[in-house]
Chain A
């Protein structure tokens, strides 16, 4: 994953993690593993964890401590009502951005071909 990818992901990772939790509750390592499976191969557990701390502080998730067979209890995160509302806002912002950027890309492309005044 290149530097540019890392920079772009920074602004969207919060939405990505909330979207993952919308599917079903999970603990930190599970979320990291799921994202890695989906192709975000350089995502590290610490970054995801720091983000979980933030969304917990902002009240977007509920946290349950679940005993684990090995090691300390796990903090399982689930999306709550504020989190769902925040995620909806994330998706509309994302659609807006994606549309604008795609349009820029398209315009530049046709301009190169001389199809655009």
Chain B
């Protein structure tokens, strides 16, 4: 989709639509699964530091797929996230590092060391 000047001001309409759909999916979940997805979403938005809207939406949609499926199968919340929810959350986030702000710095570090190793810096 070509971004018009308006979307440059307001952010992508497409991402906003996906966000509304995601919120609607959450509303359908039974209480304890909704609490779980809300808690994970909160952690993801703090710890993920994802700056790309489409990557963030992909992450949340994948999360919704997991929690909806688990709710349908009757998988207990503890069996979704395990004894250490933080560890699970970090594993999940690592799949979306393309959209993380730190990724720019990782690239910068790699490039600089490559130059230094090649002897031209």
Please report the number of residue pairs spanning A and B whose Cβ atoms sit closer than 8 angstroms.
Answer: 56
Tell me if B95 and A49 are in contact (CB < 8 A): no
Tell me if A75 and B82 are in contact (CB < 8 A): no
**Given known A29-B75, A72-B72, contact A45–B95 (CB-CB < 8 A):** no
User: Which residues of chain B have C-beta atoms less than 8 A from A74's C-beta?
Assistant: 69
Chain B interface, number of residues (Cβ within 8 angstroms)? 21
Tell me if A45 and B66 are in contact (CB < 8 A): yes
Question: B50-89 interface mask toward A, CB cutoff 8 Å, 1 = contact, 0 = none?
Answer: 0000000000001001101111110100111111000010
Tell me if B69 and A28 are in contact (CB < 8 A): yes
Residue on B nearest A30 in the bound complex, by CB: B73
Q: Does A39 make an interface contact (CB < 8 A)?
A: no
* CB < 8 Å neighbour of A72 from B65, B78, B82, B83: B65
Q: Does B43 make an interface contact (CB < 8 A)?
A: no
* CB < 8 Å neighbour of B88 from A28, A50, A53, A72: A50
Q: In the complex, what distance in Å separates the CA atom of A28 from the CA atom of B69?
A: 9
Question: A16-50 interface mask toward B, CB cutoff 8 Å, 1 = contact, 0 = none?
Answer: 00000000000111000000000000101111011
Q: Does A92 make an interface contact (CB < 8 A)?
A: no
Q: Does B19 make an interface contact (CB < 8 A)?
A: no
Chain A interface, number of residues (Cβ within 8 angstroms)? 20
Tell me if A46 and B88 are in contact (CB < 8 A): yes
Q: Does A67 make an interface contact (CB < 8 A)?
A: no
Tell me if B75 and A71 are in contact (CB < 8 A): no
Residue on A nearest B74 in the bound complex, by CB: A70
Most buried by B among A42, A53, A57, A75: A53
A29 to chain B, nearest CB (A): 5
Question: A54-78 interface mask toward B, CB cutoff 8 Å, 1 = contact, 0 = none?
Answer: 1001000000000010111011000
Residue on B nearest A69 in the bound complex, by CB: B72
User: Which residues of chain A have C-beta atoms less than 8 A from B95's C-beta?
Assistant: 50, 53-54, 57
Interface, chain A (partner B; CB < 8 A): 27-29, 42, 44-47, 49-51, 53-54, 57, 68, 70-72, 74-75
